[in-house]
Every structure is written in C-alpha cells, then in structure tokens.
Chains A and B, each alone.
Chain A
C-alpha cells in the first residue's frame, strides 16, 4: 500500500500554484464520486478527469460538467489495487486524489 501511494504521488507531483485546485474522490456504493473546486470555493466549469489504475494505465477520461460532483461506475477489478484520479482544468491547475483499496472498501460498505 505504501509503495502504491509513493509511486502514485511521485507520478502525480504538481507544482504549487495560486488559486489552487483541490480534488477529492470517494466511493458511494458502486460509483466513484469526484469533487473538484478551487481554493476560492468555486467549482471549475471546464476541464478533464483522468482515471488511472495502480499500474498507471489510463482507464477513462471524462469531461467536467460544472456540477459540484461527477460520478462514474467503479471498475471492480481496478478497484482492488486502487485508483488515481486526476483533474486538469487548464492554465496549470491540476490536482489528484488517490483512492486506496481501503478507501474503496469503506465506500462500498457505506
């Protein structure tokens, strides 16, 4: 688990910037729920969500919709090893959240 976190963190290391974008993801039953917002509290209106598995393989790319949350079905196979969810809103605003297997298991049982 620690190796996964370190590997994913290194791959997804971004430079710090003003108007920081914060990304959080959780699992709600069979769905992954992604939340992205700027440090100002505003929700990004455009951008892209990229979902990677623990081997850094890109699983899916989704557009942001301007809503506070974005949901997509949890891939049960990839879920066993964890996911990295990146959000890019352009202009250098990027952030990620790592859903660990423990996070996923906790969300599936809620």
Chain B
C-alpha cells in the first residue's frame, strides 16, 4: 500500500507517466579503497531511475561477479529487500583482491502489456577495488552488453562515457541507447519528458558517446529486438533485449 501511494504521488508530482524501465545494480561504492573496508553492499532492482519509481524484480535468472576472468555465482547470496518501494534484492560482498569486479544480472523476462513485448535487461556495473583498475575493459560475452571504451568508474561529471553496443558478440551499428540519471533524492528536475530519458545513437561501429552533466549514477540501456519470441496468452510475443550498464560520475572536488 505504501509503495503504491508513494509511486502514485511521485508520478503525480512529476506530472508525467513513468519513463524507461531499467535493470539496476547499484553498489555502495564504485571505487573501494583499502581504508574503507573489504566489503560493498549492492542493490538490484527493476526501476524507473529518474522518477525513483520501483517495479517488482523477481529473483533473477543469474547474478554473478567476474574478477580477473573468473566468474563467481552469487545468485544464492541474494536476499530479498525493498528498492524504491518495490521488491528487489541485495547482498553484501567481500572483495578479496585488487582489480575490477563486474557484477552482472540476467533477470527473468518481464511481460510489459503496454509494449506488447517482453523485456530482458542484461544489467551490469563495475567496482574497482584497492586502487587497481585492471579488467575494466573486458568483454563478458553476454547475450547483449555494452563494452566500455571509457573506464566505467573514476569519471568526473562532465566527462564523456563511451561504449560499444554488442549483440551476440557483434557491434550493433546505429544502436539506440537510452540514458537516464538515478535521481535518488528526486532533486533533479526535467523540463520535458524528453529529458527524463535521453537518447543517443551509436555510430556505424556500434560506438556511442555521452557526457554526464551531473555526478551520480547514470544508466545506459542499448535496446534491440531479440531474434526469438516468447509465448504470452497463446501468442508469440517480441522480446526487447537491453544491454544495461551503470556508471558512476564523480563530483569535481576542491579543497
């Protein structure tokens, strides 16, 4: 009841219908330093990040962590929690060694009646541990993914983020990439619905570029239609495959 009320109220205040859906993996710290401990917290959700509206995330098909080329299955470590007022998952994860840790989630197909299609967002985010960044540019071989060309952490606000959109391991020419800010405290205001979810297109090599105007978490979702369908109510329905990456931009700091 609380979540419905909050969600409805938020939508009403923003004066708009909810925008893009995003799979989300948000760590408590994108760059863990040794004097900050040895663990991070992560929350997994399926949400409208700019509007801070949650949706139900069913237990994912898979969730894991890749470090130095080795993947660790963490699906059983997930605990149920509430994210943006709706069902999500969380965990606390120890990072044993320096380097880049890549967290990935494949959710269950989400049936979206309004779009008459299923949505599957292959979602990932990156955490560097103890001052080392090795492995930040590795490709995981997901069904679809954004392979970073910019290091996906340690970016200043105003820096550009670049990535290659891949589907089945191949670049997707002129792929459409939706970009949205995680407006966690609802402080950001959009003068137009067009600015809640911005859109950029990749070039002929699948490379896209975006400059974040504000520090915080930014989600990039490259959307393509799968070459298969899934059944719903006795009919074959299209499947939207999203390659989602969450990138944190840091605030410019002075003494």
Contacts and interface: CB of A to CB of B under 8 A. Distances in A.
Interface of A: 5-6, 9, 20, 22, 24, 26, 39, 41, 95, 97-98, 102-103
B131 A22 contact: yes
A6 B34 CA distance: 11
Nearest to B97: A24
Nearest to A5: B35
Interface of B: 34-35, 38, 96-98, 130-134
A6 B35 contact: yes
Contact of B98 (A9, A22, A98, A103): A22
Contacts of A97: 34, 130
9 contacts: A5-B35, A6-B35, A22-B131, A26-B96, A26-B97, A95-B131, A98-B34, A98-B35, A102-B38
B130 A24 contact: yes
A8 B88 CA distance: 39
A5 B37 CA distance: 10
Nearest to B134: A41
A49 to B, nearest CB: 17
Contacts of B98: 22, 24
Contacts of A5: 35
Contact of B132 (A6, A9, A22, A103): A22
A4 B97 CA distance: 21
A52 B97 CA distance: 21
**Closest 6 A-B residue pairs measured CB to CB?**
A24-B98, A9-B35, A22-B132, A5-B35, A22-B131, A98-B34
Given A24-B130, A39-B132, 13 more contacts: A5-B35, A6-B35, A9-B35, A22-B98, A22-B131, A22-B132, A39-B133, A41-B134, A95-B131, A97-B34, A97-B130, A98-B35, A102-B38
Contacts of B96: 26
A55 to B, nearest CB: 19
B40 to A, nearest CB: 16
Contacts of B131: 20, 22, 95
Nearest to A107: B96
Contacts of A9: 35
Nearest to B36: A5
Contacts of A95: 131
Contacts of B132: 22, 24, 39
A6 B131 CA distance: 17
A24 B97 CA distance: 8
A31 B102 CA distance: 30
Contacts of A22: 98, 130-132
Contacts of B134: 41
B118 to A, nearest CB: 42
The CB with the most chain A CB atoms within 10 A, among B35, B38, B97, B130, is that of: B35
Contacts of A103: 38
A9 B132 CA distance: 18
Nearest to A96: B34
The CB with the most chain B CB atoms within 10 A, among A24, A98, A102, is that of: A24
Contacts of B38: 102-103
A97 B34 CA distance: 8
The CB with the most chain A CB atoms within 10 A, among B34, B38, B97, B130, is that of: B34
Nearest to A95: B131
A6 B134 CA distance: 27
Contacts of B97: 24, 26
